[in-house]
Amino acid sequence: MGKVLITGGAGFLGSHLCDRFHKEGYYVIAMDNLITGDLANIEHLFKEKNFEFHHHDVSKFIHVSGQLEYILHFASPASPIDYLKMPIQTMKVGSLGTLNCLGLAKDKGARILVASTSEVYGDPLVHPQKEDYWGNVNPVGPRGVYDEAKRFQEALTMAYHTFHGLETRIIRIFNTFGPRMRLNDGRVLPAFISQALRGEDLTAFGDGSQTRSFTYVDDLVEGIYRLLMSDYVNPVNIGNPEEITINEFGKEILKLTGSESRIIYKELPEDDPKQRKPDISLARKVLGWEPKFSRSEGLKPTLEYFRSKVKI
């Protein structure tokens, strides 16, 4: 089996991809600058012979010796508080990082899959979101650094495909959860679970009526694997269409954890999308993919992970 380079390999999604490709028999190179990634996520792979870790910022020139069969570009701060704290790095990794990965793919004759996002739809005016919706993004708002970097990433990836004939794949990832999410990454699921476990009030932003659709990480990894192995070039949504309001989600977490905390309300961040739900008819058609885990099934192993991490 060939070699796979996974950028952001020490992150939440990247580390699960390292596991999957290693299990499939590939030689895996994980690359990460560790600004939001954590070596603890891939520690178990260090003793394996078909695994290497490169501590590197992919916004700078990337060197990998020998052949490469696949590149998966997953490096980027991905949670709103991270990209608000690191706006320039977020833009660099989505633009220069993508350029370097595409250049490397061209040099090696490798197929590349880039991680795009439901954020390309911004605060969507079309619901649910289909791949042919162009989105509603504020380029100069606080989320613009992530959204526009990812939109640029998609455009650049398509340009390499059409101009150089590079084999490219683009996945649009919707809110995903599972073990190895950072407790303090500021996203709603780690926030609510750690607050509930600590007996603190759950902080819903705005009036909590905004919706999200949460995908369990194993389903996402399966979708990524299938898309990479397919011959489909245009962007594909991967996400679980089970939509829920943040209020209902808070209640679900309180019930699941047996917590007696309350839900309290804080200011809604600027440009926070009011609704989000993937239309997955394309993934069903071209990949034969659909989620296997309901939110409640996925929450079990996730809660177990958080229980082992939260210091009460």
Indicate whether 150 belongs to the interface with ligand UDP (CB under 6 A): no
User: Which residues contact residue 70 at a Cβ distance below 8 angstroms, ignoring those fewer than 6 apart?
Assistant: 2, 3, 4, 5, 21, 26, 110, 111, 112, 113, 228
Residue 146 annotated as catalytic: yes
Q: Choose which of 133, 152, 205, 232 interacts with ligand UDP (CB under 6 A).
A: 205
Indicate whether 295 belongs to the interface with ligand UDP (CB under 6 A): no
Stretch in the footprint of ligand UDP (CB under 6 A) among 47-55, 105-113, 150-158, 183-191: 183-191
Residues 250-289 that bind ligand UDP (CB under 6 A): 269, 272
Residues 37-96 that bind ligand UDP (CB under 6 A): 79-80
State which H helix or E strand residue 264 sits in: strand 263-266
- Contact criterion met (CB below 8 Å) for 12 and 77: no
- Contact criterion met (CB below 8 Å) for 187 and 79: yes
Indicate whether 305 belongs to the interface with ligand UDP (CB under 6 A): no
- Which residue has 């603890």 as its token pair? 40
- Closest separation in Å from C-beta 274 to ligand UDP: 8
Indicate whether 234 belongs to the interface with ligand UDP (CB under 6 A): no
- Closest separation in Å from C-beta 77 to ligand UDP: 12
Q: Choose which of 50, 95, 136, 203 interacts with ligand UDP (CB under 6 A).
A: 203
- Contact criterion met (CB below 8 Å) for 9 and 32: yes
- Angle, in degrees to the nearest 10, between helices 12-23 and 217-229: 60
Indicate whether 133 belongs to the interface with ligand UDP (CB under 6 A): no
Mind telling me the catalytic residues?
146
